[in-house]
Structure 1
């Protein structure tokens, strides 16, 4: 436990990653780890975003009811929360690198096998397998970054976020034309994304082998440590911030095209507008973490991104066809709260173990928080037949998101907050 005087250091000192020992990234080919992280990040969303444009074809072929299709929409958040909570225990036993490698294998197997599913139950089960791989990788990739790149958390989170955004946009944009090019069968259109998982697996296996050959045990310092994290107000604020930004992101992915179509914009243009909201996250996701990591706290970015969202939702509510490209850009910028919260997770803990605990807590609780949002938005729209209510609800959610973000963005470390006050006095 560091002395209490540590909490009075300058913001820039607080923002600098502090680890229990120097980085050991020199033991590994640095470029290989960087490529492996980027390849893993690209695979974290196509499982979901490749399915959306082809869902009607999947439903028709498998005889999937509307209720089950709705369940399918809720499966990602449920899996991210459930399997994300299990990730630290697995990492303590076999190490984060081994768990991520297994995650890439699960993504590859699940995506490929579900394209051969003959029924709804099997399709859902195999989708859950792929999402389990996504969930554990979601949680542990920031841990690996903190462990092997402790002085470059910002740039590496930027690379990770940019690759994730690129994978999200790519799958949404090309799934339909790719399926058409492959003969029009949705099974090929979904199964082809297993190739990305296989590529990531090929890159992670040498890293795993090198780790084992050097005799590093799973219980070493890169495995998650146990902290009474529920005592940390920063951890709770981070979880709330994560959950509310995820709510907005999932609603946008699910409903933005329909909002534009209901305003009279054709399907092709509405799809392009949705693509803009996702593509704009690619460059911003690279730049934003670098800027955020240089500051003692990230409160300025929290306020700016929330302001973009409020402006974008207001434009969509009152003049959706008036300046649709502007609203798409503003909403896309607001959704860049995701790379911001990933950066803050890496900065709010002193060690890789602390990052692991904060990552699983913030993402696990956050994804649980995000589950009701899209359902409620759909219910409001169905009840009113207009988008004023749903968009007003989303704008309103940005207020608590901003307040929680302001708390989470302060220069604090969860290890300090998680210690019982009596223990802090003894220290």
Structure 2
């Protein structure tokens, strides 16, 4: 791969990462405004955040074969187009359009979720940690910006929640233009053949290692998307102002960025990642436990910062495990599809379940206690996913 081609694909990956979380995290801060306009229940509003995850689970297994047929360049371009259309439909149609647009978003993001780890493994096999660090930090940075910009755009600039969410159309359009050179990549080149393991390989679904990675991915996603959906609302329920809650939603994303930068780089330096899993989960559970009893702005800020470091570390580990537990780029794409299909199916119940539990109990105490238990499970799954054992490639 020539120098300028490498630069173009790196820039493309960076800009794609900007689009894979921000359109979703942007919803959390304005969920109250959406609920007021639509008269949806808390469970229905939670479903808006759950819907992309269900779409990830359904679409992810088909991305691999579609990439083989179309080429990664064309398929990624189609994914960006789906994101763009989804953003427009979500904001500028009727109430049903909120769900239709969110589904389109989910399809586009699922394509990027699955393709990027496989492309990194194939195109940058000697720099997996570095590229994963760049990729995950890009996602988390713009996830933070998405969470933090919604209220200022909607309230301070008086744009309303619809225009605030549609703001991301501009970024998606720019990314699509940046990615266009990859659209012409030859379908049958080795670069495009990132998705299949071949009939001679053991099914990825039969690998115990793959299941530990998938459970780790699913649990951290359950926690992440539940907190993105409800963290501002939970903070407001303690008597804090919505401006402070919005700031904490932004802090939750921003403070995670150092972890998303450092953890993938450290992964390459250790034979296994069990120690990194332990540190990450200790930070996470410390923050969540403090959050459980916090009643002041200072204690909430500290708890959110600790949770953010744990969250950022767990996201980075879940993506790094895809490459680290795979013997080659082919297997990495298979594991990416599996972990993001079964993993996000598990995660999809999070936001809506937490909303239903709140509607039933009229308190956020039980959901936060559940979060604590899930972090303990995250550490358990990570202990096995972090072991230095590759997914099997024996003939079936």
Matched, 1:297 2:272: yes
Matched, 1:222 2:198: no
Q: In the TM superposition, what are the counterparts of 1:97-112 in structure 2 within 5 Å?
A: 97-112=73-88
CA separation of 1:318 and 1:59: change in aligned 2, threshold 3 A: closer
Q: CA RMSD in A?
A: 2.3
Alignment-derived partner of residue 178 in structure 1:
153
CA separation of 1:52 and 1:277: change in aligned 2, threshold 3 A: closer
Name which one, 1 or 2, has greater alpha-carbon Rg: 1
Q: In the TM superposition, what are the counterparts of 1:84-99 in structure 2 within 5 Å?
A: 84-99=60-75
Alignment-derived partner of residue 189 in structure 1:
164
Q: Secondary structure at the match of 1:295?
A: coil
Gaps of 5+ in 1: 1-24
Matched, 1:261 2:236: yes
Alignment-derived partner of residue 371 in structure 2:
394
Alignment-derived partner of residue 262 in structure 2:
287
CA contact (8 A) 2:12 2:179 kept: yes
The Cα of 1:401 is off from its aligned counterpart by 1.4
CA distance in 2, matches of 1:80, 1:199: 23
99, 113, 116: which one pairs with 1:141? Answer: 116
The Cα of 1:374 is off from its aligned counterpart by 3.2
The Cα of 1:410 is off from its aligned counterpart by 1.1
CA distance in 2, matches of 1:114, 1:378: 21
Matched, 1:123 2:103: no
195, 198, 218: which one pairs with 1:243? Answer: 218
Q: Which ranges of 4 or more aligned residues in structure 1 deviate by more than 6 Å?
A: none
Q: Deviations over 1:60-116 (max 9, x none)?
A: 55x464364343232111011111121111111112232112111211222134332
Alignment-derived partner of residue 309 in structure 1:
284
Q: Deviations over 1:141-191 (max 9, x none)?
A: 111111111100001011000110111111111122224566524332222
Q: Deviations over 1:206-231 (max 9, x none)?
A: 1222x23xx75479543432440122
205, 210, 214: which one pairs with 2:180? Answer: 205
CA distance in 2, matches of 1:381, 1:58: 18
Gaps of 5+ in 2: none
295, 302, 309: which one pairs with 1:333? Answer: 309
Q: Secondary structure at the match of 1:128?
A: helix
168, 173, 195: which one pairs with 2:143? Answer: 168
